[in-house]
Amino acid sequence: MSLFSDPAVWLPWTFAALMGLSILIYVVLDGFDLGVGLLMPLADAREKDMLVASIGPFWDANETWLVLAIGILLVAFPPAHGLILTSLYLPVFFMLIGLILRGVSFELRAKAPPRQKNMWNASFFAGSLLAALSQGFMLGMYVMGLEWTRSNVAFAMLTAVFLTVGYSFIGATWLILKTDGALQSHAIRWAKGGIWGLIMGIGAISLATPFVSARIFDKWFGMPQMLYLLPFPVLSATLIGFLWWKLRRLPRENDRWAWSPFVSATALFVLAFGGMAYSFYPYVVPEQITIYEAASAPESLLIILVGTLFVLPAILGYTVLSYYIFRGKATELRYD
Amino acid sequence: MDTLLLSRIQFGANISFHILFPTMTIALGWMLLFFKLRFNATGDRKWMDAYMFWVKIFALSFAMGVVSGITMSFQFGTNWPGFMETVGNVAGPLLAYEIMTAFFLEAVFLGIMLFGASRVKPWVHTMATFLVAFGTTMSTFWIIVLNSWMHTPQGFELRDGVVHATDWLQIIFNPSMPYRFVHMMLASGLTVAFLIAGVSALRLLWGDRSEAVKSTLRVGIIAGAGLIPLQILAGDMHGLNTLEYQPAKVAAMEGNWETGPNVPLVLFAVPNQQTRSNDFEVAIPNGASLILKHSADGVVPGLNDFVSEDGEIMHPRVAPVFYGFRVMVGTGMAMLALSWGGLVLLRRYGAGNMPKLALYVFAGMSFSGWIATLAGWYTTEIGRQPWLVQGVLATKDAVSDVSSGMVWTTLVGYLVIYAALIIAYIGVITYLARKATHGDRLPTRDYPTAGAAAPAMLQPGE
Ligand code: HDD
Ligand code: HEM
Ligand code: HEM
């Protein structure tokens, strides 16, 4: 097999896979905590505290996956890193401002004088909104090949809205899992309202991508691969149908099935992401630079890979540990 | 202004904002571990009170450090694409190791450290506190390795203008790394020592009589007094190391224009790059030769050596380096005087009865560590110009080609946000201190020490 004999081939491939994995983990994990931030205005004062409590122990580590993803892009594919980030200069700036506002408001809303609390709640929401919108916008621009034309920007604005609603959806499913009582019923309602964003987002990107490039079109609609790829749309449709059905039947006694919306939403994110990865491979900048052209020197990649093999399992291990320690319904955040 | 200058200002602004918070968290993490261990050993409630107060400030600082750090990691791509394209083969693995060995460790165990006390066994909680402190130290190590390598690069070769690593041990243990790492760790320790002393002094002034606040005042003063001589020693050795590898920087720090023996130690002056001499100079004869070469007629490099035949200036702008260095050393001297003076007063009066004046001075010095740290970094970084990686990559060759208008916009945006956040940060620390003074005893639960049999940690209904 030639793919795995030449380090100049399998190393870039491995790093592209690692980068994809950490983007995916980021989108699911920070997706739910950004989503919870987006739901803030819908909750009353006491519920707001619970919303924040449900993500308190996790959000910092969740954001670290973004740092890892951008780090891998930076270390493994330097030319692509420069190109992507300079052409997305402004949306990146807005995302960073959003993440800054969000992260500090999270702390300040609880520590600043009580009369400022509403202000920090508002900026927690605003930060989440700004971050989600700009990520959606960047997704759209990326799909369209990073060209700043009017129609591409319009498309990117659509994906911005869809991803934002999609995040609020997965945020709501997280709350279904982590809360109970009245708040849980609210979360179920929010989830019902948010599911369309996910559907339209996945729909828009699935429809748009094949028409941006003939190459991607052939990858999907040529025979026989169309048959192998059938599970993607079929599974997605099934999951959406399941969610639609299930959300109307929650909550159940003893909290049964409370986990299912979050798990299905995650599965949908994974499928959508897998579809995109399939479309764009082997390009890291769509239709311009492939992962093989952009890769750093094999020696440097090897050094990182060796470390990764030891460290990544440990990271995954203690991440799981932390979710285990904070399992069950969220409780008020206390330091003692 | 052009994109290059604006990008430099923007990077400087972002990293200056970022470094404020790691400087707090690196040493505060260890300090919290110390409070926790004292409590485990003595069972004295005051240590837990101290822990509970300072852990809030830690959490806030940590959040500020994380979000500003995320900004940093995007800066390379948005503003300095040439950096990664040229030295990515060295910088990349170092950054990757920082993310993998430090950031995740901190971030995950921070959750357990902050919110897990009632969910895990006491020793697990102490362990989490340790791992967070250890994580911040690891991240300091890796980023300082990278930064030091940019000042004293070695262990690589150039192929087609791109740096390729040849010897990782040489890269990691590059000549300035040990000095910079020690100096930075001590800087963090001093920043935290003076913050703790300052805030405790403030609470005493406001009438707080608790044992916790007396103990933290004592801890702050003793830590400051212990660390500052080490810092001065480390700084001196750091300077000698710089003399060897970056003589232009030392010439700018000393404000010395002409290479020669018997160079005076300039205490104050206004360096004038037009006339290439100092105005209003106040100096100690032979001082610089004595400090740098340990003999009165030692030869010290001068700035005029770094001007090429055709007049191109290859040394940094003198004034910022010169003043930056004096601000840092001046603050260091003030710290020395204050902490040793404080030690004497502690012996004489005890922490509860310190003279008011001394308390005011300590409160006023709360953030002095920040000033010295920033001044030190400006000295170091501006002193490296015009190089980004000394002798390998010039700053102007790394900058991106985004329009200057775009950089203007983002720069103004960052500055506004940062100004607001600094005010909020200092405001909240003051507010927390006031709240703690007025009898808001923080922990409500009875805390088991590590050894003692743990009572049921979860209260009914939780
Ligand atoms: C990983 C590398 C790295 C690290 C750890 C630091 N720097 Fe740096 N610094 C740079 C990499 C860099 C740079 C990318 O190389 C810059 C950008 C433009 C330049 O001239 O060098 C720079 C420039 C730069 C400037 C502008 C200098 C000028 O343009 O004249 C300032 C004020 C600082 N830095 C300050 C800091 C501070 C306060 C740091 C403490 C954390 C710091 N730097 C750490
Ligand atoms: C250009 C330089 C730098 C970059 C790109 C950078 C990047 C980052 C990033 C992305 C984070 C957040 C990590 C997380 O998600 O937890 C972070 C945090 C941190 N950084 Fe930096 N950093 C830089 C300079 C420095 C320097 C010079 C130091 C220390 C001397 C430092 C020490 C830390 C520490 C201790 C943290 C942990 C968070 C905290 O304590 O607030 N960084 N940095
Ligand atoms: C009073 C005696 C001090 C001396 C002689 C001294 C010396 C130095 C020197 C020579 C440098 C430049 C390193 C280079 O060439 O790149 C430096 C940098 C620095 N100093 Fe100091 N310093 C002193 C006090 C302090 C204090 C009190 C602090 C902070 C609390 C501090 C924080 C820093 C920092 C953060 C840097 C930049 C990082 C580095 O290069 O290590 N210094 N110091």
Q: B397: which DSSP letter?
A: G
Q: What is the pLDDT of residues B315-325, one digit of tens each?
A: 888 888 989 99
pLDDT confidence bin for B440, thresholds 50/70/90: low
Quick one: CA torsion of B133, B139, B140, B145, rounded to 10 degrees? Answer: 150
Q: What is the pLDDT of residue A148?
A: 84
Which of A24-33, A257-266, B53-62, B225-234 comes out lowest in average pLDDT? A257-266
Establish how many alpha carbons lie within 13 A of residue B35's alpha carbon, considering only the half-sphere containing its beta carbon. Answer: 27
> Higher confidence at residue B29 or residue A262?
B29
Nearest CA in chain B to A296: B89
* HEC letters along B282-309: EEECCHHHHHHHCCCCCCECCHHHHECC
Q: Which of A42-46, B43-47, B311-315, B402-406 has the highest mean pLDDT?
A: B43-47
Q: Is the peptide bond before A251 cis (omega within 30 degrees of 0)?
A: yes
Q: What is the pLDDT of residue A141?
A: 85
Bridge-based pairing of strands A289-290 and A283-285 is antiparallel
Cβ distance of A111 and B56 shorter than 8 Å: yes
Domain range for residue B199? 3-259+301-450
Contact (Cβ atoms closer than 8 angstroms) between residue A190 and residue A42: yes
Q: What is the pLDDT of residues A64-92, one digit of tens each?
A: 888 888 888 888 888 787 788 888 888 88
Nearest CA in chain A to B101: A311
Distance B89 CA to ligand 2 centre (A): 20
Which of A24-33, A291-300, B158-167 comes out lowest in average pLDDT? A291-300
Query: Within 10 Å of residue B12's Cβ, how many Cβ atoms?
Result: 15
Domain range for residue A200? 31-325
Interhelix angle A59-76/A89-111, rounded to 10 degrees, is 160
Q: What is the pLDDT of residues B274-292, one digit of tens each?
A: 777 777 778 787 778 888 8
Ligand 1: which residue has its CA nearest to atom 18? B8
pLDDT confidence bin for B460, thresholds 50/70/90: very low
For residue A291, the one-letter residue type is: I
Q: What is the pLDDT of residue B378?
A: 93
For B43-49, the CB contacts below 8 A with 24+ separation are: B43/B449, B43/B452, B44/B211, B45/B211, B46/B210, B46/B211, B46/B212, B46/B215, B47/B212, B47/B215, B48/B443, B48/B447, B49/B210, B49/B211, B49/B212, B49/B441, B49/B442, B49/B443
Taking the Cβ of residue A289 and every Cβ of chain B, the question of whether any pair is shorter than 8 Å is answered with: no
Ligand 3 atom with least separation from CA of B333 = 1
**How close does chain B come to A116, measured CA to CA in Å?**
11
DSSP structure string for A58-120: THHHHHHHHHHHHHHHHHH-HHHHHHHHHHTHHHHHHHHHHHHHHHHHHHHHHHS-GGGHHHH
Q: Is residue A315 part of a domain?
A: yes
Q: Is residue B57 part of a domain?
A: yes
Ligand 3 atom with least separation from CA of B250 = 15
Distance CA A257, CA A278 (A): 32
* E-strand stretches of chain A: 283-285, 289-290
pLDDT confidence bin for B456, thresholds 50/70/90: very low
- Which residue is listed with tokens 């450290």? B113
Cβ distance of B63 and A103 shorter than 8 Å: yes
Interhelix angle B318-349/B247-254, rounded to 10 degrees, is 70
Bridge-based pairing of strands B162-165 and B277-284 is unpaired
How many structural domains comprise chain A?
1
Instruction: Give chain A positions within 8 Å (CB) of B431.
Output: 111-113
The average confidence (pLDDT) of chain B is 85
Rounded mean pLDDT of A228-253? 79
Rounded mean pLDDT of A276-302? 78
Q: Is the predicted pLDDT of residue A219 greater than 80, yes or no?
A: no
Distance CA B217, CA B196 (A): 7
Q: What is the pLDDT of residue B260?
A: 79
Q: What is the pLDDT of residue A4?
A: 62
Interhelix angle A7-38/A59-76, rounded to 10 degrees, is 150
The average confidence (pLDDT) of chain A is 81
Q: What is the pLDDT of residue B251?
A: 85
Both structure tokens of A210? 């094949």
Q: What is the pLDDT of residue B457?
A: 37
List Cα–Cα distances, B455 to A326, B118, B264, B387, B445, in angstroms.
20, 11, 67, 60, 11
How distant is the alpha carbon of residue B223 from its chain centre? 16
Q: What is the pLDDT of residues A168-216, one digit of tens each?
A: 888 888 888 878 777 777 878 887 777 877 788 778 777 777 777 777 7
How distant is the alpha carbon of residue A286 from its chain centre? 19
Distance CA B406, CA A320 (A): 41
Taking the Cβ of residue A142 and every Cβ of chain B, the question of whether any pair is shorter than 8 Å is answered with: no
Q: What is the pLDDT of residue B319?
A: 85
How many structural domains comprise chain B?
1
Residues of chain B with pLDDT > 70: what percent? 95
Rounded mean pLDDT of B370-374? 95
Taking the Cβ of residue B232 and every Cβ of chain A, the question of whether any pair is shorter than 8 Å is answered with: no
pLDDT confidence bin for B439, thresholds 50/70/90: low
Distance B230 CA to ligand 3 centre (A): 12
pLDDT confidence bin for A3, thresholds 50/70/90: low
pLDDT confidence bin for B190, thresholds 50/70/90: very high
Rounded mean pLDDT of A277-285? 78
Distance A146 CA to ligand 3 centre (A): 44
Q: What is the pLDDT of residues A87-135, one digit of tens each?
A: 888 888 899 999 899 888 888 887 878 888 888 888 889 999 999 999 8
Q: Is residue A213 part of a domain?
A: yes
Q: Which residues are paired to B260 by β-bridges?
A: B300
Taking the Cβ of residue A74 and every Cβ of chain B, the question of whether any pair is shorter than 8 Å is answered with: yes
Q: What is the pLDDT of residues B90-124, one digit of tens each?
A: 888 888 888 888 888 887 888 888 887 777 888 88
Q: Is residue B278 part of a domain?
A: no
Distance CA B303, CA B256 (A): 6
Instruction: Give chain B positions within 8 Å (CB) of A86.
Output: 77-78, 81, 400-402
**How close does chain B come to A68, measured CA to CA in Å?**
6
Instruction: Give chain B positions within 8 Å (CB) of A335.
Output: 52, 55-56, 59, 114-115, 117, 442-443
Both structure tokens of B457? 């940690």
Is the shortest distance between the CB of B65 and ligand 3 below 6 Å?
no
Ligand 3 atom with least separation from CA of B380 = 16
Q: Is residue B461 part of a domain?
A: no
In this predicted complex, what is the ipTM? 0.76
**Nearest CB partner across the interface for A100, out of B68, B90, B112:** B68
Rounded mean pLDDT of B304-308? 80
Q: What is the pLDDT of residue B282?
A: 82
Q: Is the predicted pLDDT of residue B334 greater than 90, yes or no?
A: yes
Instruction: Give chain B positions within 8 Å (CB) of A75.
Output: 84, 88, 91-93, 95-96
Is the shortest distance between the CB of B11 and ligand 1 below 6 Å?
yes
Which strand (E) or helix (H) includes residue B160? none
Q: Name every residue whose Cβ is closer than 8 Å to that of residue B376 and which is 6 or more positions away in sequence.
A: B183, B187, B324, B328
Rounded mean pLDDT of B160-181? 89
Q: Is residue A23 part of a domain?
A: no
For residue B185, the one-letter residue type is: M
Q: What is the pLDDT of residue B451?
A: 44
pTM of the model: 0.83
The closest alpha carbon to A59, from B108, B454, B246, belongs to B108
Ligand 2 atom with least separation from CA of B66 = 12
List Cα–Cα distances, A133 to A59, A92, A156, A256, B355, in angstroms.
18, 11, 10, 34, 55
Q: Which residues of A107-121 are buried (b: 16+ CB within 10 A; e: fewer)?
A: bbbbbbeeebbeebb
DSSP structure string for A112-143: S-GGGHHHHHHHHHHHHHHHHHHHHHHHHHHH
Number of H helices, E strands in chain A: 14, 2
Interhelix angle A260-280/A150-178, rounded to 10 degrees, is 150
Q: Name every residue whose Cβ is closer than 8 Å to that of residue A237 and which is 6 or more positions away in sequence.
A: none
Which of B26, B250, B379 has the most ligand 3 atoms within 8 A of CB, as the residue to mutate?
B379
Ligand 3: which residue has its CA nearest to atom 13? B380
Q: Is the predicted pLDDT of residue B191 greater than 90, yes or no?
A: yes
First to last CA, chain A: 57
pLDDT confidence bin for A265, thresholds 50/70/90: confident
Q: What is the pLDDT of residue B374?
A: 95
Rounded mean pLDDT of B214-242? 92
Q: Which of A13-22, A52-61, B312-321, B376-385 has the highest mean pLDDT?
A: B376-385
Contact (Cβ atoms closer than 8 angstroms) between residue B68 and residue B14: yes
Is the shortest distance between the CB of B90 and ligand 3 below 6 Å?
no
List Cα–Cα distances, B200 to A108, A292, B156, B217, B434, in angstroms.
21, 58, 49, 5, 11
> Higher confidence at residue B382 or residue B451?
B382
Q: What is the pLDDT of residue B441?
A: 52
List Cα–Cα distances, A30 to A164, B64, B335, in angstroms.
12, 18, 43
Distance CA A116, CA B293 (A): 57
Q: Is residue A20 part of a domain?
A: no
Q: Is the predicted pLDDT of residue B189 greater than 70, yes or no?
A: yes
Q: Is the predicted pLDDT of residue B447 greater than 70, yes or no?
A: no
Cβ distance of B96 and A71 shorter than 8 Å: yes
Q: What is the pLDDT of residue A304?
A: 82
Contact (Cβ atoms closer than 8 angstroms) between residue B225 and residue B339: yes
Q: What is the pLDDT of residues A157-169, one digit of tens each?
A: 888 888 888 888 8
> Higher confidence at residue B459 or residue B429?
B429
